[in-house]
Amino acid sequence: MAVWAAVIFGFSTDRFSSERTESVAIEVLHVLLPHASEQTLLTLHDFIRKCAHFGNYFVFGLLLFRAVRMPEKGWDLRWAFLALLIAALYAASDEIHQIFVPSRGASISDALLDTGSAAAAQCVVWLLTRRQSSAAEERVRPRVLG
């Protein structure tokens, strides 16, 4: 989890600012979509960056849940809430960090996207643990022949 937090922090540096990633992304997108307009490519670049936010904080949310619940198993609302709270605080601190990076800036919408991504991870964990417990109950329940 700490390693993933460091990865997220690394993506908040100047090296991964929109201005730095734009030229590379546009070049690759232009090869993949040679007839796309410049505006379309720029929009895709923004979309890719938002997907990166989602993916990073989704994984972070999963890792936080696992860390919070250890050594227990299953799902509990308190664990999910604590994992989400930690992710939201980290997202806010990440945006505050970006205020001090010359080519970056703080974005409330990014912090909300990050928090929403961690919330989506909690929902997925809930669905998976619910499904697993239902399957386990089916295996244990005796079959009635009729």
Residue 11 scores a pLDDT above 70: yes
Mean pLDDT in residue range 65-70: 96
Average pLDDT, whole number, for the chain?
A: 93
Q: Parse the chain into domains and list their residue ranges.
A: 2-140
pLDDT of residue 132: 82
Does residue 2 register a pLDDT over 70? Answer: yes
Confidence check: pLDDT of 91 > 60: yes
| Predicted pLDDT at 145 | 66
DSSP string, 67-125: HHHTT--S--HHHHHHHHHHHHHHHHHHHHHHHTSTT----HHHHHHHHHHHHHHHHHH
pLDDT tens-digit map of 17-60: 998 899 999 999 999 999 999 999 999 999 999 999 999 999 99
pTM of the model: 0.87
Longest dimension (CA), the chain: 73
For the chain, percent of residues with pLDDT exceeding 70: 92
53 closest CA partner among 122, 111, 140: 111
Q: For position 133, what pLDDT does the model report?
A: 75
N- to C-terminal Cα distance for the chain? 51
Q: Are 88 and 64 in contact (CB under 8 A)?
A: no
Asked if pLDDT for residue 114 goes beyond 80, the answer is yes
